Structure 1
Amino acid sequence: MPYEKFPMWTHKQGEKSRVVNTQEEFDALGEGWSDANYVPPKVHIDAETFQHYPKWVGSVLVHSAEEEAALAPAEPDPEQSDEREALIKIAEERGVKIDKRWSNDKIRTALEAA
Protein backbone atom coordinates (compact mmCIF):
# COMPACT_ATOMS: atom_id res chain seq x y z
CA MET A 1 0.00 0.00 0.00
CA PRO A 2 1.56 3.32 -1.00
CA TYR A 3 2.19 5.99 1.60
CA GLU A 4 -0.41 8.75 1.62
CA LYS A 5 0.49 12.16 2.99
CA PHE A 6 -3.10 13.25 3.60
CA PRO A 7 -4.96 13.50 5.88
CA MET A 8 -2.24 14.91 8.15
CA TRP A 9 -1.86 16.99 11.28
CA THR A 10 -0.37 20.45 10.83
CA HIS A 11 0.95 22.84 13.49
CA LYS A 12 1.71 26.55 13.86
CA GLN A 13 3.19 28.40 16.84
CA GLY A 14 0.37 30.01 18.85
CA GLU A 15 -2.36 28.27 16.84
CA LYS A 16 -4.43 25.17 17.49
CA SER A 17 -3.23 22.08 15.61
CA ARG A 18 -5.57 20.87 12.91
CA VAL A 19 -6.05 18.15 10.33
CA VAL A 20 -5.89 18.94 6.63
CA ASN A 21 -7.15 16.52 3.99
CA THR A 22 -5.49 17.85 0.83
CA GLN A 23 -2.47 19.85 -0.31
CA GLU A 24 -4.87 22.67 -1.29
CA GLU A 25 -6.22 22.88 2.30
CA PHE A 26 -2.65 22.94 3.62
CA ASP A 27 -1.63 25.73 1.19
CA ALA A 28 -4.78 27.74 2.06
CA LEU A 29 -3.68 27.95 5.71
CA GLY A 30 -0.88 30.31 4.71
CA GLU A 31 2.71 30.70 5.89
CA GLY A 32 4.09 29.18 9.08
CA TRP A 33 2.12 25.95 9.15
CA SER A 34 4.34 22.94 9.58
CA ASP A 35 4.21 19.51 8.03
CA ALA A 36 7.26 18.49 10.08
CA ASN A 37 5.75 15.12 10.90
CA TYR A 38 5.65 14.22 7.22
CA VAL A 39 8.40 11.78 6.36
CA PRO A 40 8.56 10.79 2.70
CA PRO A 41 8.63 7.05 2.14
CA LYS A 42 12.01 5.43 1.62
CA VAL A 43 12.45 2.95 -1.17
CA HIS A 44 15.13 0.53 -0.04
CA ILE A 45 14.81 -2.10 -2.72
CA ASP A 46 16.40 0.07 -5.42
CA ALA A 47 18.74 1.98 -3.17
CA GLU A 48 22.44 1.57 -3.84
CA THR A 49 22.97 0.45 -0.26
CA PHE A 50 20.36 -2.33 -0.36
CA GLN A 51 21.92 -5.76 0.06
CA HIS A 52 20.08 -8.60 -1.64
CA TYR A 53 22.15 -11.26 0.11
CA PRO A 54 22.35 -12.92 2.55
CA LYS A 55 18.65 -13.73 2.80
CA TRP A 56 16.45 -16.55 3.99
CA VAL A 57 14.85 -18.80 1.38
CA GLY A 58 12.58 -21.14 3.27
CA SER A 59 14.71 -22.43 6.12
CA VAL A 60 18.05 -21.94 4.33
CA LEU A 61 20.26 -18.85 4.49
CA VAL A 62 21.67 -18.14 1.01
CA HIS A 63 24.55 -15.80 0.20
CA SER A 64 24.26 -15.47 -3.59
CA ALA A 65 21.91 -15.80 -6.55
CA GLU A 66 23.66 -19.04 -7.47
CA GLU A 67 22.88 -20.57 -4.07
CA GLU A 68 19.28 -19.43 -4.38
CA ALA A 69 18.97 -20.93 -7.87
CA ALA A 70 20.39 -24.22 -6.62
CA LEU A 71 17.52 -24.43 -4.13
CA ALA A 72 14.89 -24.11 -6.85
CA PRO A 73 13.03 -27.36 -7.41
CA ALA A 74 14.26 -29.27 -10.43
CA GLU A 75 11.88 -30.01 -13.26
CA PRO A 76 10.29 -33.43 -12.81
CA ASP A 77 11.72 -36.27 -14.85
CA PRO A 78 9.18 -37.21 -17.55
CA GLU A 79 9.78 -40.92 -16.88
CA GLN A 80 8.97 -40.45 -13.18
CA SER A 81 5.81 -38.48 -13.94
CA ASP A 82 4.67 -41.26 -16.32
CA GLU A 83 5.38 -43.83 -13.60
CA ARG A 84 3.51 -41.70 -11.08
CA GLU A 85 0.46 -41.42 -13.33
CA ALA A 86 0.51 -45.19 -13.86
CA LEU A 87 0.76 -45.87 -10.10
CA ILE A 88 -2.12 -43.50 -9.34
CA LYS A 89 -4.25 -45.12 -12.05
CA ILE A 90 -3.53 -48.62 -10.69
CA ALA A 91 -4.43 -47.45 -7.16
CA GLU A 92 -7.73 -46.03 -8.40
CA GLU A 93 -8.53 -49.25 -10.30
CA ARG A 94 -7.76 -51.42 -7.27
CA GLY A 95 -9.59 -49.08 -4.89
CA VAL A 96 -6.46 -48.46 -2.83
CA LYS A 97 -6.64 -45.16 -0.97
CA ILE A 98 -3.54 -43.06 -1.49
CA ASP A 99 -2.54 -39.46 -1.10
CA LYS A 100 -1.37 -37.91 -4.36
CA ARG A 101 1.29 -36.02 -2.40
CA TRP A 102 3.00 -39.31 -1.56
CA SER A 103 6.25 -40.26 -3.25
CA ASN A 104 6.25 -42.96 -5.94
CA ASP A 105 7.91 -45.38 -3.51
CA LYS A 106 5.22 -44.88 -0.88
CA ILE A 107 2.42 -45.36 -3.44
CA ARG A 108 4.15 -48.52 -4.73
CA THR A 109 4.45 -49.86 -1.16
CA ALA A 110 0.73 -49.18 -0.53
CA LEU A 111 -0.16 -51.05 -3.74
CA GLU A 112 2.04 -54.02 -2.79
CA ALA A 113 0.48 -54.16 0.68
CA ALA A 114 -3.07 -54.18 -0.73
Structure 2
Amino acid sequence: MFTAVRTVMVFADDPEKCARWWASVLDTEVRLEVDDGRVYAWLDVSGIELGFHPADETRNPRGGSPVVYWAVDHVDAVRTRLLDAGCTHHRGPIEAEPGRKICQLTDPFGTIFGIDGPESTSA
Protein backbone atom coordinates (compact mmCIF):
# COMPACT_ATOMS: atom_id res chain seq x y z
CA MET A 1 0.00 0.00 0.00
CA PHE A 2 2.44 2.71 1.16
CA THR A 3 5.87 2.66 -0.45
CA ALA A 4 7.48 5.95 0.64
CA VAL A 5 6.75 9.50 1.68
CA ARG A 6 6.37 11.57 -1.51
CA THR A 7 5.33 14.99 -0.25
CA VAL A 8 5.13 16.72 3.11
CA MET A 9 2.79 19.70 3.04
CA VAL A 10 3.08 22.54 5.55
CA PHE A 11 0.25 25.04 5.86
CA ALA A 12 1.66 28.48 6.60
CA ASP A 13 0.48 32.07 6.89
CA ASP A 14 3.40 33.12 4.67
CA PRO A 15 4.42 30.12 2.54
CA GLU A 16 7.27 31.90 0.75
CA LYS A 17 8.87 33.21 3.94
CA CYS A 18 8.53 29.80 5.58
CA ALA A 19 10.02 28.01 2.54
CA ARG A 20 12.93 30.45 2.32
CA TRP A 21 13.77 29.88 6.00
CA TRP A 22 13.74 26.09 5.50
CA ALA A 23 15.77 26.43 2.29
CA SER A 24 18.44 28.38 4.17
CA VAL A 25 18.59 25.77 6.95
CA LEU A 26 18.68 22.86 4.47
CA ASP A 27 20.91 24.61 1.91
CA THR A 28 18.56 24.08 -1.01
CA GLU A 29 16.58 26.09 -3.55
CA VAL A 30 12.97 27.28 -3.38
CA ARG A 31 10.54 26.80 -6.27
CA LEU A 32 7.63 29.25 -6.28
CA GLU A 33 4.27 29.21 -7.97
CA VAL A 34 1.79 32.08 -7.80
CA ASP A 35 -1.85 31.30 -8.54
CA ASP A 36 -4.47 34.03 -8.26
CA GLY A 37 -2.22 35.96 -5.87
CA ARG A 38 -1.59 32.96 -3.58
CA VAL A 39 2.01 31.78 -3.26
CA TYR A 40 2.91 28.10 -3.17
CA ALA A 41 6.51 27.14 -2.46
CA TRP A 42 8.40 23.84 -2.77
CA LEU A 43 11.76 22.39 -1.80
CA ASP A 44 13.29 19.06 -2.79
CA VAL A 45 14.81 17.38 0.27
CA SER A 46 16.37 13.93 -0.11
CA GLY A 47 13.81 12.84 -2.68
CA ILE A 48 10.84 14.25 -0.77
CA GLU A 49 8.90 17.28 -1.92
CA LEU A 50 8.49 19.72 0.99
CA GLY A 51 5.60 22.01 0.10
CA PHE A 52 4.39 25.22 1.71
CA HIS A 53 0.72 25.97 1.07
CA PRO A 54 -1.26 29.03 2.18
CA ALA A 55 -3.10 28.28 5.43
CA ASP A 56 -6.87 28.35 5.20
CA GLU A 57 -8.77 28.23 8.48
CA THR A 58 -11.63 26.31 6.85
CA ARG A 59 -9.75 23.64 4.89
CA ASN A 60 -6.08 23.70 5.91
CA PRO A 61 -5.39 25.54 9.18
CA ARG A 62 -1.82 26.37 10.15
CA GLY A 63 -0.38 23.52 12.20
CA GLY A 64 -3.16 21.16 11.12
CA SER A 65 -0.84 18.62 9.55
CA PRO A 66 0.72 15.50 11.11
CA VAL A 67 4.14 15.65 12.75
CA VAL A 68 6.75 14.45 10.26
CA TYR A 69 10.03 13.05 11.59
CA TRP A 70 13.15 13.68 9.51
CA ALA A 71 16.00 11.17 9.70
CA VAL A 72 19.24 12.87 10.76
CA ASP A 73 22.82 11.72 11.35
CA HIS A 74 23.18 13.20 14.85
CA VAL A 75 20.07 14.31 16.78
CA ASP A 76 21.88 16.51 19.29
CA ALA A 77 23.96 18.37 16.69
CA VAL A 78 21.00 18.90 14.33
CA ARG A 79 18.75 19.97 17.23
CA THR A 80 21.32 22.58 18.29
CA ARG A 81 21.65 23.87 14.71
CA LEU A 82 17.86 24.21 14.37
CA LEU A 83 17.48 25.94 17.75
CA ASP A 84 20.25 28.37 16.74
CA ALA A 85 18.40 29.00 13.45
CA GLY A 86 15.22 30.07 15.23
CA CYS A 87 13.29 26.91 16.09
CA THR A 88 11.94 26.36 19.59
CA HIS A 89 11.83 23.25 21.74
CA HIS A 90 8.55 21.30 21.69
CA ARG A 91 9.13 17.78 23.11
CA GLY A 92 12.06 15.52 23.97
CA PRO A 93 14.70 14.57 23.18
CA ILE A 94 13.92 11.08 24.40
CA GLU A 95 15.61 7.75 23.82
CA ALA A 96 13.22 5.91 21.49
CA GLU A 97 15.36 2.77 21.73
CA PRO A 98 19.00 2.18 22.69
CA GLY A 99 21.19 4.46 20.57
CA ARG A 100 18.23 6.23 18.92
CA LYS A 101 16.82 9.61 19.96
CA ILE A 102 13.80 11.55 18.78
CA CYS A 103 12.60 15.05 19.55
CA GLN A 104 10.13 17.62 18.29
CA LEU A 105 10.77 21.27 17.50
CA THR A 106 8.61 24.14 16.28
CA ASP A 107 9.85 26.19 13.33
CA PRO A 108 9.54 30.01 13.45
CA PHE A 109 6.19 29.75 11.64
CA GLY A 110 4.45 27.39 14.10
CA THR A 111 4.95 24.04 12.34
CA ILE A 112 5.89 21.17 14.65
CA PHE A 113 8.28 18.59 13.20
CA GLY A 114 10.49 15.85 14.55
CA ILE A 115 14.03 14.65 14.09
CA ASP A 116 15.07 11.01 14.53
CA GLY A 117 18.49 9.44 14.59
CA PRO A 118 21.56 8.45 16.58
CA GLU A 119 22.11 10.25 19.86
CA SER A 120 25.74 11.11 19.20
CA THR A 121 26.62 14.76 19.78
CA SER A 122 29.45 14.74 17.25
CA ALA A 123 28.87 16.29 13.83
Structure 1-normalised TM-score? 0.18
Which of 1 and 2 has greater Rg? Answer: 1
Q: Which protein has the bigger strand share?
A: 2
RCO comparison, higher one (Cα < 8 Å, 6+): 2
Structure 2-normalised TM-score? 0.17
Q: Which protein has the bigger helix share?
A: 1
